[in-house]
Structure 1
Amino acid sequence: MIRKILLVLAAAMTALTPGIASAERVRDLGQFQGVRSNQLTGYGIVVGLPGTGDDNLEYLTQAMKGVSGRMGLTLPPGVSPGLKNAAAVMITADLPAFAKPGQRIDVTVSTIGKAKSLRGGALIMTPLYGADGQIYAMAQGNLAVGGLGISGKDGSNVTVNIPTVGRIADGASVERAVATGFDSDPLLRWNLFNADFLTASRVRDAINRRLPGTASVEDGVTLALRLPPQPDTRASVMAAIEMIEVEPAETAARVIVNSRTGTVVINNAVRLSPAAISHGKLTVRVDEDPTVVQPAPFSRGQTAVEQNSTITTDEEKRSVAMFRPGASLSSVVDALNMLGVTPSDLVAILEALKQAGALKAEMVVI
């Protein structure tokens, strides 16, 4: 009996003790400045297609002449080669942080012309450029296409997935590394994914408790970290900082409305001031039943159409939902479910509550 009482008391104390269940790691709240991927793009040619490539487009013809020129083959002026087995494409890739020359990265290949499918094609060696205009990788290889497109002579066609986009696993080799400042800057900056002064302050305090005098807040997003200059020691300190657990600030109250799909998302921080909602639906129906009226025999009357309209109204009876001060999300959802509102009606109700000053939240329409 005593053991059961102790277990109950221990469970109660555990429930009352503020734990770290809602805490998050520093690495999940933000990232170190410069330690990120970089986007690469390139323009190239896919060859070897079974007649599903582009037509004799001018930009494709010029690209093919450029490729032939790099290989020592000069096409005669005015010659426009048949290019149904080739397609002009755009190549995109992400260059990971600290990628070194010789490493391989995946690339995505997409058509930019009228090519119907890239299945069976091979990408000719293409340079991939960064935002600064420098070449950072070279792409080449056979495409893996998950889509399929089939067409008949009568114009009928069947398309499965997207046959005009393919990927090449390890299709590009890195030729240039991106400088991150990891081993040269005296201050290493860490940025929050979402700006919040309270969260930034809590991260600073958590880091300084572990490593006194290391972190200082620059603004609502950035923390300046004073780390040792040696790369090996700096990497160890960064790894330790990323695993520190911090309880972030409560998210700001927001109501997200997707105007295209009618989806409404309300986060748990939304509160309501005292308000009453009455939501009803009035349906008006007009039925037309015209009647043809014939004149009497041997009269001078004319055939006419007599209009006969019937108007009916139907108004659903709904109860009034009353919100007490500080009503939470669960109260809002329960009351609106009781009213039986649809997503479109829910948006109208939330907008009315916002205009009345009862909804303490930011409405975001996407």
Structure 2
Amino acid sequence: MANPNPMASLLAVPAAAPREARAATPVAFVDAIAAAYAQQGKSPAHALAQAQIAPALLSRADSRITATQMEAVSDAAMRELNDEALGWFARPLPWGSYGLLARASLSAPTLGVALKRWCRHHALLADDITLAVTTAGPVASIAITEHRTAGPIAPGGALREFCLVSMLRNIHGLACWFIDSRLPLLGAQFPFAAPAHAEAYRVLFDGPTDFGTGPAAIRFDARYLALPLRRDEAAMNQMLQRALPLTVRAYRRDRLLVPRVRQVLMNQPLDAHNANDLAARLSLSARTLHRQLKEEGASLQTLKDEVRKQLAMTLLQRTQRPIKQVAQATGFQNEKSFMRAFKAWTGLTPAECRQHDANTAQGHETSSNTQQKSFTR
């Protein structure tokens, strides 16, 4: 039977390498599934057996299971309980609910529209929480507002962590899949104290994770919201057969490569002399680097020139470094090549540029002094 459920195994921590069956997922997430069974007065024995998880593991806080086991126990539990939310909400979400949400967002023109649509439609399924997409300058956030003051997902509830982490993992994984790209996180935050298995959050959410601060949220570069969706109905049908590849975020491709290239060139100019060096730092091949930059309407040489010019101008205007040191700091092999490039960028030599800036600053100071004298007469 097809699995139309992108919520399955959201907390499966992927192994370090694709072929490893390393146990890295905290057993606390299985404990939460067992609590969902207890709410319905049922036993999780069958689901545990399906995933080959020994019941004795649930009593050991330091136990770990594999990503495959987490997927299996999640899948079995959602089917047996007929609740894709696994006891989080006041009413169960029947099997296929989250698949319908994903389908309803597929026709959106951009990721931002798709995510806002998904959040709006989720409120039709459950009013226990509200999800919202917001932007503040260059940063976008997806945050969860909690509405339950009692019950399993209220503060102190047995399923609160499981619910909040699962919801953010789900929408983040779906966002990556929609645009067929990594969506690197700038950070995540949660309103509960750091759990004993907090080290797992380093894999669950890239970027720093803060605990004890609310609301539960993830943050990322707002420019991703403008990217178009790159999936169709056929791709949706295929993805919904099995959700684990969606949720472990195995994306290496990043459709916003230009900012990453600029950052490396600015922070590590001496280690990015050529395309091979730069591509290696971005975990890409040189060929892929050039192709993706072309798709984004940029070229490596243009970006290098822009960053080097910006850095050179800053060093010339704000420091008294010799021209030779400025050339080295901006990644040039020698002073002559730097002077030639700088003249092509600005029409001035580095020395002429520095002198021009000094004259301009002196002119502003003279004008300011003249004005001050006129006010005191």
Q: Say which one has the larger Rg.
A: 1
Bin of the TM-score, shorter chain as denominator length = under 0.3
Identify, as 1 or 2, the structure richer in strand.
1
More helix by percentage:
2
TM-score, with normalisation over the residues of structure 1? 0.18
TM-score, with length taken from structure 2: 0.17
